[in-house]
């Protein structure tokens, strides 16, 4: 098949991990007879430096014309001053909205070889295999923002239609897995959460009666993710809760660097990125973990290009590389760590 993929390396360690993702995409294309056109475009802080805009028109146009978008990471101290009028994160929010990607999928699966990489006990982590579905284009991140000398406010708004579509996306995933959905809110305090719970209950009762639904307050969910993570299957929640809880859940796997994400809408095009940030403290040192990016490439192959066998082979190659102790410093423990490039090589050799 032929496919156009927009590549946004971004800032910090973004270009380093994206380089390994690009190498894997090219290798898979060559070995399976696919023609992938990869177009690198400036985004985030790097784009601010070039154009003054974190999402230049040419970058947005390139993303809208692509079958998929692969993103590294954005941001850093250089662009994060409180008084800054233009920030890399503004570009990310604008890109998500322009692409219409409202469902952010974040799978968390604990590799047996990395049970010791987490601070939790091994017996708590064995068998953990869950997936978060985070609403991505609504809520407090996109609401009206005001600030004056004495106060500031951020408006959190959700519509019935926004809640319905994200719940349906999560329920369809639950149907394909263990048939369990946990909806996370703060309905004892927030009016948006009361609407969320009401709409979720109706959609699940009317459209997905075969999926077991449990409602959970966000503070209880934060606790139970650490106390009994194996009990969870699919979790759905609003934008800010999802942002926070998925970073917490990453520690189940042992490192932020291990986890991928797929941001999807109603069509085939998606935005794929590791969940970690730009990590400016280690940028340029060649020690960033590329596995979250490589697993994001696997999600890209599966969800946007429909290449299930190729996605499976890449996920298997990452798992085998980890089993063979090709571990970057964030997960190496007492073992000899490998570089970003060496980790990529370990995966390429096993494809």
Please give the tally of structural domains in the chain: 2
If asked whether residues 199 and 143 sit together in one domain, one would say: yes
Active site residue 243: yes
Out of 78, 129, 154, 247, pick the active-site residue. 247
For residue 177, the enclosing domain spans 119-253
| pLDDT classification of 82: cutoffs 50, 70, 90 | confident
Residue 2 annotated among the catalytic residues of the structure: no
Are 125 and 96 part of one and the same domain?
A: no
113 within some domain? no
Question: Does 137 lie in the same domain as 81?
Answer: no
Asked if 297 and 34 touch (Cβ cutoff 8 Å), the reply is no
Residues 212-237: what's their mean pLDDT? 97
pLDDT over threshold 90, residue 83: no
Res 253: pLDDT: 92
Rounded average pLDDT over 297-320: 98
Residue of 11, 158, 185, 186 with catalytic role: 186
136 DSSP assignment = -
pTM over 0.85: yes
Domain contains 259: no
Confirm whether 330 is a catalytic residue: no
Alpha-carbon distance 103 to 265, whole Å? Answer: 6
Based on the residue annotation, tell me whether 49 is a catalytic residue of this protein. Answer: no
Q: In this structure, is residue 7 part of a structural domain?
A: yes
Whether 245 and 131 share a structural domain:
yes
Reading across the β-sheet that carries 68-73, which strands appear in turn?
35-40, 2-10, 68-73, 270-272, 262-264, 103-109, 129-135, 234-237, 180-185, 212-217
Q: Which is catalytic among the residues 49, 145, 219, 266? A: 219
Residues 238, 175 share a domain: yes
Long-range contacts of 155-161 (CB under 8 A, 24+ apart): 156/190, 156/192, 156/240, 157/192, 158/192, 158/195, 158/196, 158/238, 160/195, 160/199
Q: Which of 185, 233, 243, 330 is catalytic?
A: 243
Active site residue 180: no
Burial state string for 174-192 with b = 16 or more CB within 10 A and e = fewer than 16? beeeeebbbbbbbbeeeeb
Residue whose C-alpha is closest to residue 134's, from 238, 245, 281: 238
Task: Dump pLDDT digits (tens) for 22-68.
Answer: 999 999 999 999 999 999 999 999 999 999 999 999 999 999 999 99
252-273 per-position pLDDT tens digit: 999 999 999 999 999 999 999 9
- The last residue of one of the domains, among 253, 287, 304, is 253
Q: Which of 141, 158, 272, 291 is catalytic?
A: 141
- The domain that holds 1 is classified in CATH as 3.40.718.10
pLDDT at 250 over 90: no
Residue 251 is predicted with a pLDDT of: 87
Task: List residues bridging with 214 in a β-sheet.
Answer: 182
Q: Is residue 126 domain-shared with residue 240, that is, in the same domain?
A: yes
């Amino acid at each position: 098949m032929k496919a156009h993929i927009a590549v946004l390396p971004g800032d910090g360690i973004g270009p380093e991990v994206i380089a390994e993702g690009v190498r894997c995409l090219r290798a898979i294309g060559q070995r399976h007879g696919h023609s992938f056109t990869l177009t690198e475009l400036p985004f985030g802080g790097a784009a601010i430096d070039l154009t003054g805009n974190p999402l230049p028109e040419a970058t947005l146009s390139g993303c809208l014309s692509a079958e998929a978008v692969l993103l590294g990471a954005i941001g850093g101290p250089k662009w994060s001053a409180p008084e800054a009028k233009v920030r890399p994160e503004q570009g990310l929010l604008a890109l998500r909205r322009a692409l219409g990607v409202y469902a952010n999928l974040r799978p968390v699966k604990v590799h047996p070889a990395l049970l010791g990489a987490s601070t939790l006990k091994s017996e708590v982590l064995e068998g953990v295999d869950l997936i978060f579905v985070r609403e991505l284009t609504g809520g407090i991140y996109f609401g009206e923002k005001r600030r004056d000398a004495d106060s500031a406010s951020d408006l959190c708004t959700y519509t019935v239609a926004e809640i319905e579509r994200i719940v349906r996306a999560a329920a369809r995933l639950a149907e394909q897995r263990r048939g369990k959905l946990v909806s996370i809110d703060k309905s004892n305090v927030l009016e948006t959460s009361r609407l969320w719970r009401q709409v979720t209950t109706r959609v699940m009762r009317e459209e997905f009666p075969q999926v077991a639904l449990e409602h959970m307050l966000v503070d209880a969910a934060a606790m139970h993710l650490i106390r009994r993570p194996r009990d969870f299957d699919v979790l759905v929640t609003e934008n800010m809760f999802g942002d926070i809880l998925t970073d917490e859940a990453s520690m189940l796997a042992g490192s932020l660097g291990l986890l991928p994400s797929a941001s999807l809408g109603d069509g085939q095009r998606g935005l794929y990125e590791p969940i970690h940030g730009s990590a400016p403290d280690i940028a340029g040192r060649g020690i960033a973990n590329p596995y979250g990016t490589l697993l994001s490439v696997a999600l890209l192959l599966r969800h946007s290009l429909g290449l299930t066998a190729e996605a499976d082979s890449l996920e298997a190659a990452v798992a085998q590389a980890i089993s063979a102790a090709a571990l970057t410093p964030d997960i190496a423990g007492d073992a000899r760590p490998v570089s970003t490039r060496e980790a990529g090589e370990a995966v390429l050799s096993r494809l």
